[in-house]
Amino acid sequence: MSHTPQWRDGNRVELLENGEEFYPRLYQRIADAREEVLLETFILFEDKVGHALRDAVIGAAKRGVRVVLTVDGYGSANLTPEFVGPMADVGIIIRVFDPRPKFLGMRTNLFRRLHRKIVVIDRRLAFVGGINFADDHLRDHGPEPKQDYAVEVEGPVVADIYELVSDEGGPESNKRLKRGPSTKSVGSVRAILATRDNHKHREDIEWHYREAIRTAREEIIIANAYFFPGYRFVRAIRSAAKRGVTVKLVLQGRPDWPLVQWAATTLYDYLLRAGVRIYEYCERPMHSKVAVIDSDWSTVGSSNLDPLSLFVNLEANLIMRDRPFATELRNKLEALLERHCQEMSREHARPRTLTRQLISWLVFHLTRRFPAWFGWLPAHTPQHALLVKPETLVAGKAVPAEKEEETA
């Protein structure tokens, strides 16, 4: 990102829960687009959600709308020529972040992922959140649909979101249209785009969290799928609870990755002893990355609170200061707590033995600090590849027209 993000007044923000609310709204906005659609996502699958998105952007491109679609080379590694070909045929620019060849059929780009989920339409409207393009974000997927959130935002902060996504596009997709992003005030929400990258914004998202936690006076509710933050973050939560702030953590009770839940449980006893209340969401896998503090500060985005999101991935969260929005999000989280969560007690927590603390410390620091130790981890600088031959992607060897170093 080429500039330092700032708080922007005058925004309109709407909360969207799960795919049932997010996808129809987004598809309608794409159908209404007149000039440009920029879309970044970690996962794009060839299921009914992926096909619906493909149909939407193809329809826009046929109307003359410029469309740039960027996917992650790990999360969207199995796209086929049959799927991407029709998009390329109508002029959609399709780009892959850090495409890497597979080894023995396995993906090798395990870290440094483009984990953001962002859409910007006509430089005036944007979507930010944690929802990928896959049908496991819909209840009719089966017994394991994911719980997650996104926001639709309009107003001055969209200029910052647009700047981030268009900067990522490289020479081919960074051809700015004559009219810049709108800075017109359309609402009452104060917002800032917080990002995490491997250059100038390494700790921005975590810093915003810690500052809000440090100044909290009444209540903190954090609902995060992958919770394994560093010592400063955990200490801030404990300190808030000890000074009388009600602290509620909503974590996974039915994890899609059991190791992630194990890592989180190593912190349970330490947090519970300070008065932090921990709930496990048990209805279905939780994919949320949201928080509400003092019914005024809130965030919705792509960043988990684990070493990958806080120290390696490219992430984006929208942070808002607005009581009505925060109250709406708080009410939704409280409904989850009441209906679908089990509160943990110290009897549920495993003893914080020296062995468990040592293993926890090693896991945290290995994933945070030392990915280059392992030959199969990407110590290289990630690149974008412009996909000009769709058939090369399915082989895991995207042949780009150009490559450029990561600019996030």
- Locate the domains of the chain by residue range: 8-187+380-405, 200-369
> Worst-scoring range by mean pLDDT, 98-102, 244-248, 375-379?
375-379
d(CA 301, CA 121): 18
Which one-letter amino acid corresponds to residue 371? P
**pLDDT surpassing 90 at residue 320:** yes
The predicted structure's pLDDT at residue 369? 56
pLDDT at 379 over 50: no
Residue 38 φ/ψ, nearest 5 degrees: -110, 125
**Is the domain covering 8-187+380-405 a CATH 3.30.870.10 domain?**
yes
Q: Is the fold of 8-187+380-405 the same as that of 200-369?
A: yes
pLDDT given at position 376: 45
Euclidean distance between CA atoms 79 and 72, whole angstroms: 11
CA terminus-to-terminus distance, the chain: 6
What's the pLDDT at 359?
Answer: 73
The CATH code of domain 200-369 reads 3.30.870.10
Question: Is a pLDDT exceeding 80 seen at residue 284?
Answer: yes
Question: How many whole angstroms separate alpha carbon 259 and alpha carbon 355?
Answer: 16
254 — pLDDT class (breaks 50, 70, 90): confident
Per-residue model confidence (pLDDT) at position 109: 58
Q: pTM here?
A: 0.88
Catalytically annotated residues: 115, 117, 122, 287, 289, 294
Residue with tokens 């000039």: 35
The mean pLDDT of the chain is: 85
Residue 134, pLDDT above cutoff 70:
yes
**Range in 3-12, 19-28, 52-61, 163-172 the model is least confident about:** 163-172
Position 385 scores a pLDDT of 65
**Distance between CA 133 and CA 49 in Å, rounded?**
6
pLDDT digits (tens, 9 = 90+) for 188-221: 999 999 999 878 898 999 999 999 999 999 999 9
Above pLDDT 90, what percent of the chain? 63
In 3D, which of 193, 204, 195, 129 has the Cα closest to residue 155? 193
Integer Cα distance of 43 and 283 in angstroms: 23
DSSP assignment, residue 351?
P
- The better pLDDT of the pair 109, 227 is held by 227
pLDDT: which is higher, 333 or 360: 333
Burial of 77 (0-12, 13-18, 19+ CB in 10 A): buried
Decide: residue 359, CB within 10 A, 0-12 exposed, 13-18 middle, 19+ buried. middle
Q: What is the mean pLDDT of residues 388-406?
A: 43
Q: Which residues touch 226 (CB under 8 Å, ≥6 apart)?
A: 252, 257, 260, 264, 304, 305, 306, 308, 309
pLDDT tens column, 354-375 = 776 777 677 666 655 554 444 3
